[in-house]
Structure 1
Amino acid sequence: MRAEIFTGTEQGFAVVGLRTAGAELAMVPALGGRVVSLRSRRTGRDWCWHRAGVTWLWRSAPGDDFGGSPQAGIDECVPSVAACEWRGRRVPDHGEVWFQEWRLDEAELAAGRLTAEVTLPVTPLKFRRAISVTAHGFRFDYALTNVGAAAEEYVWCVHPLFTIADGDRLELPREVRTLRVNGGIGTQPIAQGDLWSFPEPQPGFRLDRLETPGMPRGCIKGFAGPLREGFAALANDRTGDRLELRWDAAAAPLLGLWLNRGHAGFHHVALEPTNGAPDSLAQAVNDWKQFGVIPPGATATWWLEWRVS
C-alpha cells in the first residue's frame, strides 16, 4: 500500500509524516524520532498525548531525566527503560535513543517509509526503525544489531503515551489474568513485584476501565505475560474510536502497562510491548530473568502494528 508523505513544522521542529484514507502519523526526527501524532481521519481523534499549553516540544540532552522531557507521543526505549548500571556502563534514563537526532534514510523516504538508524552512545548496539503504512494503519519494523565483541543483554519497549477520554476502555487477551507490578502511587503501598489480578486487582477500581488506586492522583506500571498473542487495544463504544496494537509476541512476549490518572497533573495510558521486565536492565537480568541477548555481530528483528479505526 502506497502512503502519502507530508511535511510541516511544529514549534520550529521539522515534521514528516505518512497519511492514508483512514489514518495519519506525524514524527519529529530531530527529537528521537518521536511520533507526535497518530490520528484517525474518520473521527478526528489524535491518540498521542502531550502536555497542555502552546509549547510542548523541546530538545533533551544525553543524561537528562526523561521526566523533564516533552514525553509527547511515541518514543523508543533501549537497552533499558530505567537508568541503571550494567557491565560497568551508566545506561541513561529511558535508554539511549530518545534524546538523539534521527536522520531519515532518503531512499527509504522516497519509497514511502520513515526509516532511521542510530548508534547507541553507551552500549555497542545500533537501532533501526522503519515505519510504513498498512491497510489499517501503520507498521513499525525494528532491527537491533550488536556491533561489539561480546554478547549484549537488552530490554526494548515502545513507549507511547496516549490520551484518555470518557468512555475509553482497555482490551487485553483472555490469557491475561495477572499483572506483575513495577511500581506506582496509590492509597496503599505498591511494591515492585506485587502480583495483581486483572482486570480488578482491588475492590472499587478496574484497570480495564483505566482506573487506578488513589484516583484522581494514582499511577501504576506493571507487566502482563509472557503472552502467546501480541494484542492490546483502547476502544470507546460511545465515539466509535479504536486503537488496536498487534506485535511479534515471539520476540516481545511481555506487555508493559503504564496508567497515570493524575500524577504530576497528567492523565495518559501507555501500551508497551517489550522483551523484558522490569524497567531496569540490571534488574531484568539479575532478578526477574526476563530480557533479550544478542550475540556479537548478530541482529534481532521484530515488528508491531497500530491499527486505527
Structure 2
Amino acid sequence: MSSTVLENDRLRVAVTPDCGARVTSLVDKRTGREWIAQGPQSRNTGEDAEYAGNEAVGWDECFPTVTPWDASHTPWARKLRDHGDLWGRPFTIDTQTPMALRLSYSDPQFLFTRELQLDGAALIARYEVENRTDASLPYLWALHGLLAVTAADSIELPEVETVAATYLSLGDKFLSVSELQWPKPSDVLPFTLDRVQPATSAFAGKFYAAVPGRTARVGRPGQWLTLAWDAPIDQLGIWLTYGGWPGLGGHHEIALEPTNAAADTLGEAIDAGAPPLAPGERRDWRVTLTLTS
C-alpha cells in the first residue's frame, strides 16, 4: 500500500490513504525516535475481521464503535464490526500539500473527514463527521493510535487520581477490578500504571479517565509526546499492552485515546449519554500531538 508523507524540519509523518488513512509513522527528526508502533499491513479488513495481531498497528480511527456491537435496533440497522467502519478502508484524498493532508471516508449514512497538519513540532488532527440520514445517529469515536514505548518511558495524566478499568489481564489470569488509583501502587498489580513495563510483564489493560486539563503525555526527559484535545471531547482511553495481548508474548505498546465517551461499545456510549448527531448535523473537534523536550 502506498504512503503519503508530510514533513517539516521537526516531524516526518506517513499515512496510507487506502488503509483507513492509517498513520504508519511519526518520527521526531531531532531525536530520530519513531513514535508509532510498527507492523505489517494486514489485508484482513472484511465485515467479520477482528482488530488483533497484524491488524492492530499504527494509528487508526474507531467509528462508530470500538468493540463489536449489534446496532440493528438503532438507525445504523446493522451489526458494527470490531473497531468500527473506518480502519483498513480506502479514504479519498481531498487536499494535499507538503505539510497538510485532508482525507475523507464517504458512506450513505455518514461522511468522516480528518485533516492532518504539521506546525513546527506539532501534528494537528482536525476532525469532522456529518450525519447523512434523516434520523439521530449515535456514535462512538476514539483516536486509536498505538505508540511504540520502552520500559524507560512513563505516562503522565495531570490531575487524574483514579481510572476506570474495563479489561485487565496479567499472565494467564483475567482480573475483575472496576477502578484503580492513578498512579499509586495497588495490591492488584506488581507495578504502578504510570510506568511503562517490559514486554515480559505479560500484562494488558484498558482504562478510562476524565482528564481535567485535556492533556496527557508519554515519554522520558528529552523525548515527550503530548496529546491535547478540545471540548467536547472530555474522556481519555488508556490501552496498555506489555506482552499480554492478543495472547502471551503479544504486542508491546500503549495508546492514549481521546474519545467522546468512556465506552468500549456504541451501546455503552448511548447508555452514558453521548450526544448523537442530529439529522444533517456536522460536528468537529481537534487533537494536537506535540513533541517536547
| Fold similarity call, TM over 0.5 | yes
1:244 pairs with one of 215, 226, 237: 226
Tell me how far apart the structure 2 counterparts of residues 120 and 81 of structure 1 sit (CA, whole Å). Answer: 18
Tell me how far apart the structure 1 counterparts of residues 5 and 19 of structure 2 sit (CA, whole Å). Answer: 14
Letter in 2 for 1:291: A
Alignment of 1:1-309 (within 5 A): 13-51=1-39, 56-63=40-47, 64-86=49-71, 87=74, 88-105=77-94, 108-110=95-97, 112-120=99-107, 124-174=109-159, 176-186=160-170, 189-191=174-176, 194-200=178-184, 202-203=186-187, 204-211=190-197, 216-225=201-210, 227-237=211-221, 240-248=222-230, 250-263=231-244, 264=247, 265-286=250-271, 289-309=272-292
Tell me how far apart the structure 2 counterparts of residues 111 and 40 of structure 1 sit (CA, whole Å). Answer: 17
For 1:260-307, what per-residue CA distance to the aligned partner results, in whole angstroms no more than 9, with x for missing partners? 011232110000000012211112223xx1523110001110001111
For 1:201-220, what per-residue CA distance to the aligned partner results, in whole angstroms no more than 9, with x for missing partners? 514311110249x9611100
TM superposition shift of 1:112: 4.0
Tell me how far apart the structure 2 counterparts of residues 114 and 277 of structure 1 sit (CA, whole Å). Answer: 29
TM-score (norm 2): 0.90
Tell me how far apart the structure 2 counterparts of residues 308 and 77 of structure 1 sit (CA, whole Å). Answer: 24
Q: Is residue 112–residue 132 contact of structure 1 (8 Å, CA) maintained in 2?
A: yes
Tell me how far apart the structure 1 counterparts of residues 253 and 217 of structure 2 sit (CA, whole Å). Answer: 14
Q: Is residue 150–residue 197 contact of structure 2 (8 Å, CA) maintained in 1?
A: no
Q: Is residue 143–residue 299 contact of structure 1 (8 Å, CA) maintained in 2?
A: yes
Tell me how far apart the structure 2 counterparts of residues 278 and 104 of structure 1 sit (CA, whole Å). Answer: 30
State the SS of the aligned residue for 1:14: coil
Q: Is residue 139–residue 306 contact of structure 1 (8 Å, CA) maintained in 2?
A: yes
Tell me how far apart the structure 2 counterparts of residues 164 and 67 of structure 1 sit (CA, whole Å). Answer: 19
Identify unmatched segments of 5+ residues in structure 2: none
Tell me how far apart the structure 2 counterparts of residues 277 and 67 of structure 1 sit (CA, whole Å). Answer: 21
Tell me how far apart the structure 1 counterparts of residues 97 and 239 of structure 2 sit (CA, whole Å). Answer: 36
Aligned to 1:8: none
Q: Is residue 239–residue 254 contact of structure 2 (8 Å, CA) maintained in 1?
A: yes
Q: Is residue 97–residue 120 contact of structure 1 (8 Å, CA) maintained in 2?
A: no
Aligned-residue identity in percent: 28
Tell me how far apart the structure 1 counterparts of residues 107 and 64 of structure 2 sit (CA, whole Å). Answer: 9
For 1:78-122, what per-residue CA distance to the aligned partner results, in whole angstroms no more than 9, with x for missing partners? 0110110121420110000112111211xx20474211111247x
TM superposition shift of 1:23: 1.2
State the SS of the aligned residue for 1:294: coil
Identify unmatched segments of 5+ residues in structure 1: 1-12
State the SS of the aligned residue for 2:227: strand
Tell me how far apart the structure 1 counterparts of residues 228 and 13 of structure 2 sit (CA, whole Å). Answer: 17
Distance 1:159 1:147, change over 3 A: same
Letter in 1 for 2:278: P
State the SS of the aligned residue for 2:103: strand
TM superposition shift of 1:230: 1.3
Tell me how far apart the structure 2 counterparts of residues 152 and 241 of structure 1 sit (CA, whole Å). Answer: 40
For 1:129-187, what per-residue CA distance to the aligned partner results, in whole angstroms no more than 9, with x for missing partners? 0001112221000001010111111110100111112310111111x111111112126
Q: Is residue 276–residue 292 contact of structure 1 (8 Å, CA) maintained in 2?
A: no
- How many positions carry a matched residue from both structures? 280
Distance 1:292 1:211, change over 3 A: farther
Q: Is residue 117–residue 126 contact of structure 1 (8 Å, CA) maintained in 2?
A: yes
Tell me how far apart the structure 1 counterparts of residues 196 and 51 of structure 2 sit (CA, whole Å). Answer: 23
Q: Which runs of 4+ in 1 moved over 3 A?
A: none
Tell me how far apart the structure 2 counterparts of residues 191 and 100 of structure 1 sit (CA, whole Å). Answer: 35
Tell me how far apart the structure 1 counterparts of residues 260 and 176 of structure 2 sit (CA, whole Å). Answer: 22
Q: Is residue 11–residue 118 contact of structure 2 (8 Å, CA) maintained in 1?
A: no
Tell me how far apart the structure 2 counterparts of residues 60 and 97 of structure 1 sit (CA, whole Å). Answer: 13
